[in-house]
Amino acid sequence: MSRLKVVVRSDFIDMVRFAKMIPIRTAMIEKAPNYPLPKSYAVNRTADILHPREQKLRVKEISEHTCDAKSFVLESAENRPLAYFRAGQYLSVNLRIGNAVLTRPYSIASSPSRALQGEYMVTVKRAADGFASGFILDNWEVGTEVSVSAPEGNFYYEPLRDAKTVIGIAGGSGITPFLSLANAINEKTEDAQLILLYGCRNEKEILFKNELDTLAEENDKIKVIYVLSDLKKKKAGFEKGFIDSKLIEKYAPEKFSLFICGPKAMYEFAEGEIKKLGIEKKYVRFELFGAANDAAKIKGFPKDAVGKVFNCTVKVKGDEKTKIPCMAQESVLTALERAGISVPSRCRSGECGFCRTKLISGEVFIPEETDGRRIADAKFGYIHPCSSYPLSDIEIHV
């Protein structure tokens, strides 16, 4: 006859042990010193410095460039430390222009080390239809106080993801995050090699040429190639034409990451050229370029919606509602800003989700390329107003 060994486990012992802990802990609490808890903790103070909800800054210096652009050095207006950042990130600037309230993201052109010295630098170039850029260039002076976000964005070098060599493709003022990266490499806060292809129409439009040339001379990890579309004949130190797959292959090593920052037209051209390279998607990064000013130019936008104006009912808090006009070809965020309704926003490109809003009713057009919503948000009717365009009367809850 065989015998079975049966082990019966019970939670009773654990319950007894737990009961015995109560008087022990009570005694420890009674012996603890009787003084008030600190008003703040070091870890929270550090978090406030690194990730502030808002930074109050003041224009410290202004330098002008030849192509209707200016660089603004910003310092704290409250004598506070500036939030640190990764080379390639941006600041979202809060603006009030007349009755309109809006935000605009601008890449930080200075090196991260300058934040530790109490300075950021951003560069603003006038856009042909630039509402914000024109206002900044015409109104910001030394001493002007501005409100900005903490540094945001994912357009930075990440050793765990990226190849050791970064091929940077810049167009116009899209050079600014690469200037920051080049300085970080030179200062050894980033360990990478940068080969920069900088496209402009002519030499006058090149921003920071002296700074870039100096960095390339000082550090063999930095190489800069200027590509001019209007160049009539070959010229030493310059490439002629556009930044295409053949030009990238000419300067690229066997393995590289591709970072691209510039106007939307350059992105559209670059996408076709990148396919020819056969590079893995994880090695390609586009900086945010903002939503289209005219949705009619976006592939898939309904032609019968062009020119139509709809009503947008905005529920802000409680039962309070405001009704504003919203053109089909402009983003919902643009309509809100024009009406003076202050809403959270950062990237203006559909990616960060900071402007996430509930679509209560109605229909909107969301371009596939800028639909950065989570799957659950798309399923349950949330939109990013910065990249959503009305196709009917809509109601939203901000």
Over residues 309-320, the mean pLDDT reads 85
153: left (phi over 0), alpha (psi -120 to 50) or beta: left
Contact 312, 325 (CB under 8 A): yes
Give me the CATH number covering residue 336: 3.10.20.30
Domain count, the chain: 3
Please check the confidence at residue 289 and state whether its pLDDT lies above 70: no
* Number of Cβ within a 10 Å radius of residue 214: 14
Helix, strand, or coil (residue 161) = coil
- Quick one: what percent of the chain has pLDDT higher than 90? 63
Query: Which pair of structure tokens corresponds to residue 247?
Result: 């030009």
Give me the CATH number covering residue 87: 2.40.30.10
Query: How far is residue 369's CA from residue 271's CA, in Å, rounded to a whole number?
Result: 12
Over residues 99-122, the mean pLDDT reads 94
Residue 227, in any domain of the structure: yes
Helix, strand, or coil (residue 260) = strand
Alpha helices (runs of H) in the chain, residue ranges in sequence order? 12-31, 42-50, 112-116, 131-139, 176-186, 209-218, 245-251, 264-277, 332-338, 375-379
pLDDT for the residue 248: 94
Residues near 128 by beta carbon (within 8 Å), at least 6 away in sequence:
none
Residues near 227 by beta carbon (within 8 Å), at least 6 away in sequence:
197, 198, 199, 200, 238, 239, 240, 241, 242, 243, 247
| Domain end point (choices 98, 116, 148) | 148
Claim to verify: residue 173 and residue 239 sit in the same structural domain: yes
Contact 169, 109 (CB under 8 A): no
Claim to verify: residue 183 and residue 252 sit in the same structural domain: yes
Over residues 59-71, the mean pLDDT reads 94
| Domain end point (choices 96, 115, 148) | 148
Range of the domain at 237: 165-286
Query: How far is residue 157's CA from residue 163's CA, in Å, rounded to a whole number?
Result: 9
Residue 84, in any domain of the structure: yes
HEC per residue, 88-109: CCEEEEEEEECCEEEEEEEEEC
Claim to verify: residue 380 and residue 330 sit in the same structural domain: yes
- Quick one: which of 72, 83, 93 has its CA closest to 118? 83
Residue 38, in any domain of the structure: no
Please check the confidence at residue 10 and state whether its pLDDT lies above 70: no
Give me the CATH number covering residue 224: 3.40.50.80
| Domain end point (choices 244, 265, 286) | 286
- Quick one: which of 185, 128, 132, 137 has its CA closest to 162? 185
Please check the confidence at residue 236 and state whether its pLDDT lies above 90: no
Helix, strand, or coil (residue 278) = coil
Residue 359, in any domain of the structure: yes
Claim to verify: residue 102 and residue 130 sit in the same structural domain: yes
Helix, strand, or coil (residue 367) = coil
Please say whether the dihedral angle defined by the alpha carbons of residues 86, 199, 72 and 216, taken in this order, is positive or negative: positive
Claim to verify: residue 263 and residue 321 sit in the same structural domain: no
Claim to verify: residue 176 and residue 244 sit in the same structural domain: yes
Could you tell me the pLDDT band of residue 167, with boundaries at 50, 70 and 90?
A: very high
